[in-house]
Amino acid sequence: MPKDLRTLKTRITAFQDVITACARWRRADSRVARALCELYAARSASELLLSASLLFPDRIEECKTVTTENESRTVSILPSLETVRDIVPTLLSSVAAENQSDTVAALKEMGVLKLCPPTEELFDRLAFVVGCVIGRARLVPLVELSIFAAEQRAYHRAGKFVAEARALGPGPMEQHCLFTVEGILHLVSSEVIKAKECLMDSIRICREHSDSVTTGIFGFHVMLAERLLEQGEQETVVSYLAECAHVWSHQKELIGIWISTVNAGKKPEFLESSFLAGVHNPVIKLRTLTSRSSCVDDTISTRPSTAGRPSRAERLAEFQRRTRAAMRGKLDAPKN
């Protein structure tokens, strides 16, 4: 089976998994969860549509422009789980038969095209949804939105989202993500030295606050590292990975393999690792980030006092308790 076809089938399954998770999270009375559901559904749909475009470029692009509809920002455009489940077999068979018309019709019926409007319309909608989150908890989906904007090369929007997130007092893991996006923006402006500084700042903040980073749940980002490798900046990327090995010590062996690969002049397949694929999986992140938002109060501070602070084990236990409560729709978070 051709690689593009395998990738498309994988992304069809991934989209169904995201919609399944979103259907569960609708039971939780959480604006953060709703914002993340909209965001991850759009992200998964974009990846799915990109894969379809590689097989049927003309047909997909044509249908993207004629099927875009203006939807009220206040109305969820997430497809129902029942609809997705019903259409997936048809979509898979159409893809296997390389039937362009039936593939596009299935994507439309499954809600994928509606989730992927033109870039400005897409980020107008997502910015509105994230903006409905009250208080500092908005930081959590806002950081994810900035990453998605950078991935979609909507750099102007990414810069705005980063600035808004910075004003909310991000913690170490949020700063790690924001430095990553800022580095991408510097690369776009051909400011390679500043991009390299952002890469190292992104891991420095994690190492300085390693007691606040739940390394088994949250993972580091490699988007900026990958792009710097494309610029021939192997030395900086090796330094970054070496620092990651100190913070995520349970992945030291894997990171060591990546370092050897980079030193050999090759580019590692970072996201093929079970660790990064797992921690960045949208289904898992829906759970962890919604729980994370419930632990974020309205006090803006990047260096919280350690006086009377719970131990790392106590914080992890509380995080897990909130995760279980959120999955039951009983998370005590009245604002969001």
Q: Which two tokens stand for residue 153?
A: 């090369």
Least confident of 3-12, 32-41, 205-214, 293-302: 293-302
Give the model's pLDDT for residue 215: 65
Q: Between 211 and 61, whose confidence is greater?
A: 211
Residue 322: its H or E element: helix 312-327
| pLDDT tens string 125-174 | 999 999 999 899 999 999 999 999 999 999 999 999 999 999 999 999 99
Q: Over the chain, what is the mean pLDDT? A: 84
Closest CA to 287 of 325, 259, 335, 239: 325
pLDDT band at 60 (very low <50, low <70, confident <90, very high): low
Confidence check: pLDDT of 329 > 50: no
Give the model's pLDDT for residue 333: 43
Confidence check: pLDDT of 282 > 70: yes
Give the model's pLDDT for residue 57: 74
Dist. CA 336–CA 325, nearest whole Å: 14
Cβ contacts of 241-244, under 8 Å, gap ≥ 24: 243/200, 243/203, 243/204, 243/206, 243/207, 244/203, 244/220
Any residues with CB less than 8 A from the CB of 330 and at least 6 apart, and which?
none
pTM (two decimals): 0.83
| pLDDT tens string 222-238 | 999 999 999 999 999 99
Dist. CA 51–CA 24, nearest whole Å: 27
Give the model's pLDDT for residue 299: 45
